[in-house]
Amino acid sequence: MAEPKARILVVDDEQSMREFLEIFLRREGYDVQTASDVDTAIVYLESDEIDLVITDMQMPEKTGLDLILAAHEVAPEAAVIVVTAFGSTDSAISAMKEGAYDYLTKPFKVDELKIVIEKALEKKLLANENRRLRQELRSQSRDRTLIGHSRVMQEVYDLIALVAETKTNVLVSGESGTGKELVARAIHEQGGRHDKPFVAINCGAIPENLLESELFGHVKGAFTGAVQTKEGLFEAASGGTLFLDEIGELSQPLQVKLLRALQEKTIRRVGDTADRKIDVRIVSATNRRLEDEVAEGRFREDLYYRLNVIQLTLPPLRERIEDIPLLAQHFIRRFADELGKDVEGIDAAVFEVLSTYAFPGNVRELENLVERAVALSHDSVIGLDLLPPAVTAVRASQTAPRITAKGIDLEDVVADYERSLLVEALVQSGGVKKRAARLLRISFRSFRYRLEKLGVEDPKREA
């Protein structure tokens, strides 16, 4: 007997038909169960994994249509083929409307049955594969999700759960690298629109003359290069969520058009004369203080209030240092797998250094730091030697040198200490040299001279 390819349930009140189908299907290599009535068939569906049901339409007490409806409840993944008497196509069509894959009329040819079974199982196999791929994609999405057990992150999770159940627009604020897009995705996936598209765009990464077309679409011939009609991201995100990252980068003219879209719930493609209705939830993000942008006239107040119905602020990494070990281990697992490295953990001394570092690039900087360390590692544990100089220099500035019996080189000690302070100032200022100079209470010219003299590079490039 051939190895079973699928499990098939035959349901018919006529014993001769059951026996005939059982013998035929077993010869074809299938694993077969039989039932003489609908109730018995339902018991099989509840207790066993059935891939395909072949059922007679007309049976005493309950019909094949009753079985189809019951299968939806107890075994929704099972395909159903209905066998009906000649001239009873109306009942077969009703079965198809209720979800049957196909039907055969008696008397049918064996070859015909064989083809219908193969196609039904092929469709089911394809559906299972699609389901597996969706689960795999969700798993990959979870791999790039928010991570942290700190109190501030627990508050973020709670707010995301509350916000996700609403339809209102959300403004996510926070420094660069804190994970604002991950928050937007979490809001989308936990809400009622999770089965619809999530579309993201960085408003600061696209030239202004192209951004309008990206958002709203265009018609053929609207401008040079518009060789065909194209839908915009508002339409692509229909029914789902549109994430507008770096919303503060929008020009004033585009702010006006975005405001109109939000107010009227319609958009107009570039070069078109007709409006199109939209159903999109907007989640926007910024690393600026939009309140200040509004006060200084760079951002429309009315648009700000449309976007900022609910505000969610992400804390910088330096305010949740207790999450660093968890984040670092997560990144190690990912990059060790991607790079084919046998790296399993981080030395405790490294965590001590990381806990004192300001992380101007936040979680993204930590991610890059771990990727760098894993790529350079030749051991199973990441040590201090694999940290970027910008990180270890900050740590060095906190350890005062001691004079030993051999003495010390004062010039070198002073130079090292000065270098570490310059680096720390750059780190805390996010790489803005004028701000770093103010932190050290020296002029910008003096600061730049000391950088060149001591060979200090921008720590953001190092990391």
Going from N- to C-terminal start, the domains of the chain cover 7-135, 151-315, 317-387, 389-463
User: CB of 276 within 8 A of CB of 164?
Assistant: no
pLDDT in tens, the chain (463 residues): 334 478 899 999 899 998 999 999 999 889 899 999 999 989 888 877 888 999 998 888 888 888 988 888 788 878 899 888 766 677 778 888 888 888 888 888 888 889 999 888 888 777 766 665 555 554 444 445 788 889 999 999 999 999 998 889 999 999 999 999 999 999 999 998 988 999 999 998 888 888 999 999 998 888 887 777 888 999 999 999 999 999 999 999 999 999 999 999 999 999 988 899 999 999 999 998 999 999 999 999 999 999 999 999 999 999 998 999 999 999 999 999 999 999 988 888 888 888 888 888 999 999 999 999 999 998 899 998 898 887 876 555 555 566 777 787 888 778 877 887 887 778 777 678 888 888 888 888 888 888 888 877 655 444 3
- pTM check: above 0.75: no
Are 243 and 199 in contact by the 8 Å Cβ rule? The answer is yes
Residue of 315, 160, 299 lying closest to 241 (CA atoms): 160
Query: What is 151-315's CATH topology?
Result: Rossmann fold (3.40.50)
Q: Are 80 and 55 spatial neighbours (Cβ–Cβ below 8 Å)?
A: yes
Q: What pLDDT does 414 receive?
A: 80
| One fold for 7-135 and 151-315 | yes
- What are the distances in angstroms from CA 375 to CA 9, 338, 346, 370, 390? 54, 10, 14, 8, 18
* Per-residue pLDDT at 200: 94
Block residue for tokens 């250094």:
353
Residues, the chain, total? 463
CATH 1.10.8.60 fits 317-387, yes or no: yes
Q: What is the pLDDT of residue 396?
A: 52
Question: Which CATH fold topology does 389-463 show?
Answer: Arc Repressor Mutant, subunit A (1.10.10)
Burial of 319 (0-12, 13-18, 19+ CB in 10 A): middle
Sheet holding 79-84, edge to edge: 31-35, 7-11, 52-56, 79-84, 102-105
The half-sphere exposure of 142 on its side-chain side, counting CA atoms within 13 A, is: 7
Query: CA-CA distance, 56 to 91, in Å (whole number)?
Result: 11
Residue 84: name the closest of 106, 61, 66, 101 by CA.
Answer: 106
Residue 141 is predicted with a pLDDT of: 46
Question: Domain 7-135 adopts which CATH fold?
Answer: Rossmann fold (3.40.50)
